[in-house]
Structure 1
Amino acid sequence: MTWTCDCVFRTVLAGQWPPATWRARVRRFFAWRRSWACPHGSAGAAGGREEVGGYAGGSSGGRRWRHGSSTQTALQLRASAGVGAGGGASAARKKNSAAVLFGAAGRMRYGLCCRQQLRNLVLSFNHLTGVLPTSIGCLSSSLSVLILGSNKIGGNIPDEIGNLTMLSYRSLKGNRFNGTIPSALYRLPNLERLYLHTNNLHGRIPECFGQSKRLGLLSLSQNMLSGQIPQGLGALPHLRELDLSHNQLSRKIPASLGKCKTLELVDMAHNKLTRNIPSKVVGLQNLEFYFNVSGNLLQGSILEMSKMVMVLAIDVSQNNFSGGIPSALESCKGLMYLNLSGNAFEGPIPVSLVNLKNL
């Protein structure tokens, strides 16, 4: 059964149970959960006992979600659903996907009738369609996690999402959103992770992203974003991961990114970036995992990359870099992957590269 996104949120805001078919599936799911959690025990005596996932049973008080578990997330249900379930990776994925859906649905009655207690809303890996309704701004002001990824939701991202001021984790990845990135995102002072990749967003990356001081992860890859990478991203003191790959970004990489001393992963592959990479950017010594600028129009030397002594992977393939391959790359002791193909390098391969024991 396919639900539109608007239908789901109207049900959420009204504090109603889902249709009977969903109720039956929820009951079956929790029956399976109880049998897995306590295969040789009973469902609980009068007065109830706590089950895995914060479910309280009991013959006298009925079945309910206990008040103390209101902060338990559906993510925990998803993570635990695959434990002990046989049938290989495929069966585990099915159970995990089901747990996300049923975990969110199973909490609708209590958590959404009392919307001020709602902390986490997870509706990912379903077949939700339509547009994201403006009523999303009427959800709990305490909502900190909103995960709607891997659905079929389209249209613009509504500005009303800016009303969720406590939001720290937001994922709309893998949908069909179009339009530009809304300015409402800058009114989320607690935002720490933002996943908007694999959509149809276009336009420029707003300069105002620099106002999200707590932002640590920004993923905008696989959209149709254009223009220059904003200088304001360099004002994010806690930015650890930046993924802008597979867009239509152009012009030079801003030197202000060199101010992000906490950056551990940078992926700007497959854009239209030009000129040299600023020395402050390739000189980020805390880059620990991945530096990928492949598939652009970058030029110049890569000598400064030898300063990334902790990085595990460097990919500068399919650009216009020239000159010799610097022997100083041997200082990147942790390097496990190096791709320099599709450029204009010349001269001998440095013998010093043999000192990279993990390569």
Structure 2
Amino acid sequence: MVTILFSLIILVYHITSSHSERCNPQEKFVLLQMKKEFNNPTFLSSWKPNTDCCHPKWHWHGIKCDHKSHHVKSINLSYNTKLASKIPPSIGNLPYLETLFLFHLPNLIGPIPQTISKLTNLTYLTISSTNVSGPLPNFLGQFKSLVNLDLSFNNFYGPLPPSLSHLPNLTGIFLGYNNLIGPIPDSYRSFKNHSNFYFSHNNLSGRVPISLGKVDFSSIDLSHNRFKGDPSMLFGSNKVSAAIDLSWNIFSFDIGKVELPKITSMFDASHNQIYGNLPLGIENVMILNVSYNRLCGEIPKGDKHDLYAYFHNKCLCGSPLPSCK
């Protein structure tokens, strides 16, 4: 009798627990398929078919679910050197996913799979510090809800996709430390004001589109590329740019005609072919480097920057450089 009663209790427990599981069964199946496509890495050992992917008790590594709908809304996998695979194509079958964060996974390889284009609710997409490669896909322009795109520190190559300009909510774009080539598309004039725009350490080239002057960037980094010409459209006394980095390019323009944004706290234009006198307000910039250019004239009196902010210019003078004669 006791044995029969015990068996009934176990049966009821299993029936109750199966009905009370929070994890959406289709999404759970997708996560387990992803684990398989990741080659069943040990750091995903918590992803077990007999546990609830949304229940805090089981804590599926890197998974967060919406507390009301229980749909999987976030995947955060980072800091693992043993995960060796491509990005699982099945990830595109998580329609409610809002955040995908793949960071410092040096053995993650291959291109971004086409199936990711189905994640139309993505708000934050980070694939950074991996060995993911290939051209930046045009389907990135389909993520209409995307606010932040970070594809830095990878092996992406080829041109910048014009389709990024189709993202109405994008305010952070980080594509630095790749092998990207070619010019900045003119269509990027449609980026939102107060955006953060980081394209450093690539092989980008050509002139900065004049139309980019219509965007009031919070910060912009074009350093360590092969841009040339005059980027002065990025400046203006009424703009809000707190950080501007143009260093290590082939820019050539009269910097004396530029009006710095009043709140600029960092300005680096070193290692270019910039000429002219220093612009008004340069002494108020907290972090400054205009070394290795062709600048002339007197450094404003009372300037507190060190020698390294100004050295290797054609004819700059005044403290901290030798005095003007």
Q: Which TM-score tier does this pair reach, normalised by the shorter chain?
A: 0.7 to 0.9
Shift of 1:206: 1.3
Cα displacement string for residues 174-208 of structure 1 (whole angstroms, at most 9, x for unaligned residues): 11111110011011111111010011111111121
CA contact (8 A) 1:322 1:343 kept: yes
Residue 134 and residue 142 in structure 1: after superposition, are their counterparts in 2 closer, same or farther (change >3 A)?
same
Structure 2 matches for 1:32-71, cutoff 5 A? Answer: 55-57=55-57, 66-68=65-67
Match of 1:234 in 2: 213
2:301 partner letter: S
**Aligned with 1:134 (options 110, 114, 127):** 114
**Aligned with 1:291 (options 267, 278, 283):** 267
1:286 partner letter: I
Shift of 1:97: 1.1
- 2:128 is paired with a residue of what secondary structure? coil
Residue 341 and residue 71 in structure 1: after superposition, are their counterparts in 2 closer, same or farther (change >3 A)?
farther
CA contact (8 A) 1:70 1:119 kept: no
Structure 2 matches for 1:191-230, cutoff 5 A? Answer: 191-214=170-193, 216-230=195-209
Residue 259 and residue 22 in structure 1: after superposition, are their counterparts in 2 closer, same or farther (change >3 A)?
farther
- Give the TM-score of the pair, scaled to structure 1: 0.67
Structure with max Cα Rg = 2
Residue 150 and residue 13 in structure 1: after superposition, are their counterparts in 2 closer, same or farther (change >3 A)?
farther
Residue 312 and residue 346 in structure 1: after superposition, are their counterparts in 2 closer, same or farther (change >3 A)?
closer
Whole-angstrom CA distance in 2 between matches of 1:214 and 1:70: 33
Match of 1:252 in 2: 230
Shift of 1:65: 6.0
- Give the TM-score of the pair, scaled to structure 2: 0.74
Residue 341 and residue 12 in structure 1: after superposition, are their counterparts in 2 closer, same or farther (change >3 A)?
farther
Structure with bigger strand share is 2
**Aligned with 2:314 (options 330, 333, 344):** 344
1:343 partner letter: N
Percent of pairs identical after alignment? Answer: 24
Residue 55 and residue 284 in structure 1: after superposition, are their counterparts in 2 closer, same or farther (change >3 A)?
same
The number of residue pairs the alignment matches comes to: 279
Whole-angstrom CA distance in 2 between matches of 1:318 and 1:267: 14
Match of 1:327 in 2: 301
Cα displacement string for residues 106-154 of structure 1 (whole angstroms, at most 9, x for unaligned residues): xx99x965x2310101122112222223322122x11111111111122
Structure with bigger helix share is 1
**Aligned with 1:148 (options 124, 127, 135):** 127
Structure 1 stretches lacking a partner, 5+ long: 1-10, 31-47, 59-63, 79-95, 354-359
Residue 177 and residue 349 in structure 1: after superposition, are their counterparts in 2 closer, same or farther (change >3 A)?
same
Whole-angstrom CA distance in 2 between matches of 1:313 and 1:176: 30
1:97 partner letter: Y
Match of 1:43 in 2: none
Residue 120 and residue 258 in structure 1: after superposition, are their counterparts in 2 closer, same or farther (change >3 A)?
same
Structure 2 matches for 1:295-314, cutoff 5 A? Answer: 295-306=271-282, 309=284, 311-314=285-288
Structure 2 stretches lacking a partner, 5+ long: 1-26
Whole-angstrom CA distance in 2 between matches of 1:287 and 1:173: 24
